[in-house]
Amino acid sequence: MDDNLKIMKEILKELVEIKRGINILASVQQDKAFKGLSKVRGKRKHMYKMFTGKNSLEDIAKQLKTTHENVRLFSIECQKAGLVEFVKGKGRTKYPKKLL
């Protein structure tokens, strides 16, 4: 039993170190995302506000009087930057949802 306890403690120490590393990487990525978001202006800013997970790309485009393609491209940019994820909407449609 003592050997198992030692092994578990070593594993726990390694996991704590891994978590620290992940937190550092996530912090750097989050800083980049916030800087990118602070540059967003005009319709894109309104698009981002509408990325609630409840609006389809088409709905957002109609409300902001822009094209579906503009909304789609911006949502993909946001996803790559770690600002947005896509959640299940109606049918096979996925809706953008902001993470920050």
Q: What digits encode the pLDDT tens for the residues 39-80?
A: 767 888 899 999 999 999 999 999 999 999 999 999 998 888
> Quick one: 25 and 60 in the same domain?
no
Question: What's the CA gap between 75 and 62, in Å, rounded?
Answer: 15
Same domain for 47 and 26: no
More confident site: 90 or 27: 90
Q: Where are the beta strands (DSSP E) in the chain?
A: 84-88, 94-98
On whether both 100 and 79 belong to a single domain, the answer is yes
Average pLDDT over residues 16-43: 74
- Comparing CA positions, the residue from 91, 43, 51 lying closest to residue 70 is 43
- Are 4 and 20 in a shared domain? yes
User: Which residues on neighbouring strands pair with residue 96, listed in sequence order?
Assistant: 86
Tokens found for residue 81: 């930057």
Q: Cβ distance 54 to 41 under 8 Å?
A: no
Residues 71 and 98 in one domain: yes
Query: Do 49 and 91 fall into the same domain?
Result: yes
Residue 64: give the domain boundaries. 41-100
Whether pTM > 0.85 for this model: the answer is no
The count of domains in the chain is 2
